[in-house]
Every structure is written in structure tokens, then in C-alpha cells.
């Protein structure tokens, strides 16, 4: 059995799970999330614990077992606590502004770049830190990746948009490389 798939999911206080017709619905204080469950996977709820089972031992069932368990655990955490990703603007004159669900990035191009956040995502900008938050981990990560993709950090000066915890490996420039060979 899958090591991850066989672990039970302990539901936080105030989170309820309903399973019906191949769908799982997770409700909590921050909202609700719904996901389809493959036919080869089943789930059971009892006393605040969700257990995921697979119906056979085919390769596909084995691979889906741990994946579905992790997705359901993330849904339970998302509706109770939520998820958050932080990005940092590194560069002179780089800035971001939020108006509603649209973030406008001024990151060295001849024009400002506008990105619209998906439904259920909150954007916040403080100084040079952009915070993306929401209840669906997948969507929060995707919106953060879309923002980072506008100007990924470059390896020579480190300028660009990077995750706060990301470490950018720096390369020596031409002058430094020439000095070491001489």
C-alpha cells in the first residue's frame, strides 16, 4: 500500500466532509471546495477522520491513491486555515499595485503588465512583497507562478520577481570570469 495513501486525514475543528456520486465536498470556515474522485478510489468519513482506499492494485490505482489523499488533506487545510505564497520584487524601480482582483506590475518593460487573479484569490502588496492567498493550494500556486513568470530572477544581478524563500544562484559576470583566468 502507498505510505502516503494509507495515512488517515484528521479533520480540523469546524471542517465537514461529504462524499457522494464520486465527488468529495469539504466545507470549512473559509469556504468550500469540491473535487471528483476517480472510480478506482473510494473514501470514508468517520469521527472526524477521512480514510482513502483503492479498489484494486493496478498501477493507476496505486499512483492515484497517495495523490488523492494529499489533495483531500490540502482541501481540509485550505478551508480551515487557507494557503499563502509570497513573492518579492528585486530591482530598482520595480513596483506592484493592486486594484480589485488585478495586479499591475512595473518591472522594467516599456509597458505595465496586468495580471487578473482567479476567483477566490486575494492579492496584497506591501512595499516590495506581493502576497497571494486563498483556500485552494493549486490555484494559489498557479497565480503566484503566473506573477513570477512576468520577470523571473536573472542569474547575474538577481533582478526580477522571486519567491520570498527562493535562493537565486548567481553567476559571475564577464569581468569576474576574465579576472579568474588571468
Tens of pLDDT, residue by residue over 116-153, are: 999 899 999 999 999 999 999 999 999 999 999 999 99
What does each C-alpha distance from 66 to 8, 22, 48, 53, 72 come to in angstroms? Answer: 11, 17, 19, 10, 10
Q: Residues of the chain with pLDDT > 70: what percent?
A: 98
Q: Residues of the chain with pLDDT > 90: what percent?
A: 84
Task: Tell me the C-alpha distance between 161 and 15, whole Å.
Answer: 35
In three-state secondary structure terms, 78 is helix
Q: What mean pLDDT do residues 163-182 have?
A: 83
Task: Tell me the C-alpha distance between 147 and 103, whole Å.
Answer: 9
Domains within the chain, CATH numbers bracketed: 9-80 (3.90.930.12), 83-163 (3.90.930.12)
Q: What mean pLDDT do residues 91-104 have?
A: 94
User: Which pLDDT score, from 0 to 100, does residue 175 have?
Assistant: 78
Q: How many CB atoms lie within 10 A of CB 9?
A: 23
Task: Tell me the C-alpha distance between 75 and 83, whole Å.
Answer: 10
Q: How many CB atoms lie within 10 A of CB 20?
A: 7
Reported confidence tier of residue 164, pLDDT bands at 50, 70, 90: very high
Residue 21: all three cell numbers together: 456520486
User: Which pLDDT score, from 0 to 100, does residue 173 have?
Assistant: 81
pTM, full prediction: 0.89
Task: Tell me the C-alpha distance between 158 and 154, whole Å.
Answer: 5
Inform me whether the pLDDT recorded for 174 exceeds 90: no
| 30-72 residue pLDDT tens | 999 999 999 999 999 999 899 999 999 899 999 899 999 999 9
Amino acid at each position: 500500500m502507498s505510505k502516503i495513501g494509507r495515512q488517515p486525514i484528521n479533520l480540523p475543528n469546524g471542517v465537514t466532509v461529504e462524499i457522494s456520486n464520486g465527488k468529495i465536498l469539504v466545507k470549512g470556515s473559509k469556504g468550500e471546495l469540491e473535487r471528483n474522485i476517480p472510480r478506482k478510489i473510494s473514501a470514508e468519513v468517520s469521527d472526524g477522520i477521512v480514510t482513502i482506499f483503492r479498489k484494486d492494485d493496478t498501477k493507476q490505482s496505486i499512483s492515484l491513491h497517495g495523490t488523492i489523499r494529499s489533495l483531500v488533506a490540502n482541501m481540509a487545510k485550505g478551508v480551515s486555515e487557507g494557503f499563502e505564497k509570497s513573492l518579492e520584487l528585486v530591482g530598482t524601480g520595480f513596483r506592484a499595485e493592486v486594484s480589485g482582483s488585478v495586479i499591475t506590475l512595473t518591472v522594467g518593460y516599456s509597458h505595465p503588465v496586468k495580471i487578473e487573479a482567479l476567483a477566490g484569490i486575494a492579492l496584497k502588496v506591501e512595499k516590495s512583497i506581493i502576497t497571494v492567498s486563498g483556500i485552494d493550494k493549486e490555484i494559489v500556486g498557479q497565480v503566484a507562478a503566473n506573477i513570477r513568470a512576468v520577470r523571473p530572477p536573472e542569474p547575474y544581478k538577481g533582478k526580477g520577481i522571486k519567491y520570498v524563500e527562493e535562493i537565486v544562484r548567481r553567476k559571475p559576470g564577464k569581468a569576474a570570469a576574465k579576472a579568474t583566468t588571468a
